[in-house]
Amino acid sequence: MGMRIVDTPTMQWREFEDAPGVSYKVLRHHKDRKGITLMLQFAAGASYPTHRHPEGEEYYVLEGSLDEAGVTYGVGSFVYHPPGSAHQPRSTEGCTLLITLPAHIERL
């Protein structure tokens, strides 16, 4: 497979039905469509339902800040959640993240 360029500014944000105010843009599906790389955008005050990462998660905060378990991660923060970890992220001010998921999440 060759190089792939994704023009993210021209892509439409798609909103999650069960997470009002949280939208995404899929940048790449990993081998066998098991994992995914995406951009995630939280409107101010939005949250995502509690979920688990069977094979972990990595994200980088591009804009704004994300709140998790009493900790706020601002622009430039890189966060790694190990396999099996669970959380319920939210954003007070709104944010945009670049996320890599080696496998699909499990909703709790």
Residue 87's closest CA among 51, 38, 44?
51
pTM above 0.85, yes or no: yes
Share of the chain above pLDDT 90, in %: 86
CA distance 88 to 50: 4
CA distance 76 to 59: 10
- Range 78-92 burial, b when 16+ CB lie within 10 A, else e: ebebeeeeebebbbe
pLDDT tens column, 5-49:
999 999 999 999 999 999 999 999 988 778 999 999 999 999 999
CA distance 78 to 60: 4
